[in-house]
Amino acid sequence: MFSRVLIANRGEIAVRIARTCRELGIEPVMIHSTADAGSAALRYAEDVVCVGGDRAAGSYLYIPNVIEAALRSGADAIHPGYGFLSEDPYFAEICEDNDLTFIGPSPQVMEKVGSKAVTRELMAAAGLPLLPGTRDAVATVEQAHAIAADIGYPLVIKAVAGGGGRGITMVRRREDLSDAYRTTRATALATFRDSNVYIERYLDHARHIEVQVLCDAHGNGVHLGERDCSVQRRHQKLVEEAPSPAVGPQLRSTLGPLAVRGALSIGYRGVGTMEFLLDDEGNAWFMEMNGRIQVEHPVTEMVTGVDLVREQILVAAGHPLTARQDDLTPRGHSIECRVNAEDPDRDFAPTPGRLTVFEPPAGPWTRVDTHCTAGSTIPPYYDSLIAKVIVWAPDRAQAIARMKRALAEFHVEGPGIATTIGLHQRIMDAPEFVDGTVHLDFLSTFAQPSLPESRPA
Amino acid sequence: MSAEKRSNEPAGDLGSLTDHAVDLVGRLPGHVNRVRVASGGSEIEVEWASAAPPAAAVAPAAPSVTPPPAGVPAADAAPPQATAEAGAQAGLVSVSSPVVGVFYDRPSPDDPPFVAVGDRVSVGEQVAIVEAMKLMNPILADVAGEVVAIRAAAGEAVQFDQPLIDIRPLEG
């Protein structure tokens, strides 16, 4: 087992990883930028190293400093968390070159998973259902039109190297396709340094269902059930739950093994997620694979009793899986709300600054993953996630009641600080959410009572 | 580890004591934790950081926080290491490390150091090396002036922005 693990991340996930490290008897080392020098997250580390300036490019993403920090602090392994370097095959390779175990899949598998077009091809070969669309990147606008004529509208143009909801353009009409194609390629080049795009049929009124898989380095794989992440704003998840109200035991018993088969077919190792779109006929279509721990992993942990970070570390240390598929039936219901320091009344503008009051909820089956405390400063340079509130209850109705109670206890204040707590409270009350019928278009049409009404001139 | 030196010579006033303390810290090898310079009866006491893991210095303490609700540990769970004070004394400029790596005060073990306390340096003059990923990064003086303190020891792991050499800039 590793004696020291360097956590190449920040914020709530750094704390999350450090905690499981401690439980395994591993000393956590944390890196930080100058902007995060006062972060309360650092208190959970045995050792800390400043790796650069405020901008992520010069610190959390600056590979030479991250590697040196690991070598100088005596770390055996690096946990990349999510975002940052977690899906960078080059970084995984450099870890290997420096005899540091990268906690995640191999660089070669990462390359495959990182290309949407390649994963579509490989998953189709493994028997996963795909929406009509291209397997290869679309090279010209003429090709785009030809494909569109074949698969029909609405369709979506997606960056091959994309992620985090960026580099995606939806097209409803043929007249808009050429412009959308060119714009998406330009965005992809600027954001991901790869202008390749692929095209896929777009499903109106679908739900985002993702299956958690766990594979070891010995060819074993299990699934831990699905999550429903249909409450999204601009492709960013806000609320997640497990299990999905739209997935019954039969679909779960089909989708789970399919997800495992797909992961094992590409030699996946560690925790991973297979994303699907579920249409109203109950068909699930493979979208993409995520080769890292995800923000919303806690809801799966709550319904299965499995510590996913612990499993990641054990797999990376070479242990075979001990969990058996029969033991992994989800029990009860879990919901997570992502609390961001953003103002929903000002188009979710981020509100960095100092927290004078930070009182998170607690109580029965109420979990809060955070790095913040009263006195913390939220820097403007990174994402705006300040806490995840997660609840578990024996059934979905009780889970909603528990989340509402927890959100009401959550007090956050600071000069200029706003949060999405109020928005989450309104979502918990929304009829579609209570009925479990939320689809991906839910939040964009969700009434915001505090917005002023616009009247025609 | 610590060392004491006693003398019967009368020491000077407070300003002079401060100068002595700063001078000591600059001249002593290793990472100095604490210096005590007494007056009547004279006394010097030096305490070095423990020799334990070659870890980099801890970040400056978090701003004062109210005791947090359940879940956040108390302050005594903080990493137990030597503190690297951020900026230098007033009037001094610190040359700090641009990378995470290992500090070296000389081109090779057989060479003399680039600079010693008391040396005059010009802008752009090399004063140290920080090795990272097998690359020897030259550390250059940002200002012209006199070297007042060398704040890292040869072979010590240093982090981004860690002060390495303190320089008192030339007037004008």
Minimal Cβ distance to A38: which of B60, B66, B77? B60
Please report which confidence band the pLDDT of residue A134 belongs to, taking 50, 70 and 90 as the band edges: confident
Instruction: Enter the pTM of the model.
Output: 0.81
- HEC sequence for chain A: CCCEEEECCCHHHHHHHHHHHHHCCCEEEEEEEHHHCCCHHHHHCCEEEEEECCCHHHCCCCHHHHHHHHHHCCCCEEECCCCCCCCCHHHHHHHHHCCCEECCCCHHHHHHHHCHHHHHHHHHHCCCCECCECCCCCCCHHHHHHHHHHHCCCEEEEEEEEECCEEEEEECCHHHHHHHHHHHHHHHHHHHCCCCEEEEECCCCCEEEEEEEEECCCCCEEEEEEEEEEEEECCEEEEEEECCCCCCHHHHHHHHHHHHHHHHHCCCCEEEEEEEEECCCCCEEEEEEECCCCCCHHHHHHHHCCCHHHHHHHHHCCCCCCCCHHHCCCCCEEEEEEEECEEHHHCCEECCEECCEEECCCCCCEEEEECCCCCCEECCCCCCEEEEEEEEECCHHHHHHHHHHHHHHCEEECCCCCCCHHHHHHHHHCHHHHHCCCCCCCHHHCCCCCCCCCCCC
Residues of A in contact with B61 (CB under 8 A): 38
Residue B12: per-residue pLDDT: 53
Helix axes A89-97, A63-72, angle to 10 degrees: 30
Phi first, then psi: what are they for A82, rounded to 5°?
Answer: -120, 160
CA max distance for chain A: 69
Contact A362 B79 (CB under 8 A): no
Q: Is residue A188 within 8 Å of residue A179, measured between CB atoms?
A: no
Residue A107: per-residue pLDDT: 97
Q: What is the ipTM of this complex?
A: 0.79
Classified as helix, coil or strand, B60 is coil
Residues of A in contact with B58 (CB under 8 A): 48
Convert the pLDDT of each residue in A404-456 to its tens digit: 999 999 999 999 999 999 999 999 999 999 999 999 999 988 855 544 444 34
Phi first, then psi: what are they for B153, rounded to 5°?
Answer: -105, 150
pLDDT above 60: residue B67: no
Catalytic residue at A174? no
Q: Is residue A81 within 8 Å of residue A105, measured between CB atoms?
A: no
Please report which confidence band the pLDDT of residue B88 belongs to, taking 50, 70 and 90 as the band edges: low
Contact B101 A59 (CB under 8 A): no
Q: Which residues of A lie inside 8 Å of B (Cβ-Cβ)?
A: 29, 32, 34, 37-40, 42-53, 59, 64-69, 72-74, 358-360, 362, 368, 370, 373-377
Convert the pLDDT of each residue in A320-356 to its tens digit: 999 899 999 999 999 999 999 999 999 999 999 999 9
Phi first, then psi: what are they for A228, rounded to 5°?
Answer: -110, 120
Minimal Cβ distance to B65: which of A53, A72, A374? A374
pLDDT above 70: residue A29: yes
Most confident option among A186-200, A234-248, B84-98: A234-248
Could you give the count of Cα atoms lying within 13 Å of A297 in the half-sphere of its Cβ?
27
Mean per-residue pLDDT of chain B? 74
Minimal Cβ distance to A72: which of B54, B73, B78? B54
Token pair in block for residue A253: 């018993």
A322 residue type, one letter: T
Q: Is residue A420 within 8 Å of residue A369, measured between CB atoms?
A: no
Q: Is residue A390 within 8 Å of residue A368, measured between CB atoms?
A: yes
pLDDT above 80: residue A125: yes
Using CA atoms, how far apart are residues A387 and A392, in angstroms rounded to an integer?
Answer: 17
Query: Distance from A237 to chain B by nearest Cα, in Å?
Result: 25
Token pair in block for residue A278: 């579920």
Residue A448: per-residue pLDDT: 55
Query: Distance from A326 to chain B by nearest Cα, in Å?
Result: 33
Pick the residue of A4, A33, A49, A55 with the most B CBs within 10 A to test the interface with B by mutation: A49
Give me the count of residues in chain B.
172
Residues of B in contact with A29 (CB under 8 A): 55
Mean per-residue pLDDT of chain A? 94
Residues of B in contact with A27 (CB under 8 A): none
Minimal Cβ distance to B69: which of A29, A34, A360? A360
Pick the residue of A3, A15, A30, A47 with the most B CBs within 10 A to test the interface with B by mutation: A47
Strand-pair partners of A50: A32
Residues of A in contact with B71 (CB under 8 A): 360, 362, 368, 370
CB–CB contacts below 8 A, A to B: 115
Convert the pLDDT of each residue in A348-386 to its tens digit: 999 999 999 999 999 999 999 999 999 999 999 999 999
Q: Is residue A300 within 8 Å of residue A390, measured between CB atoms?
A: no
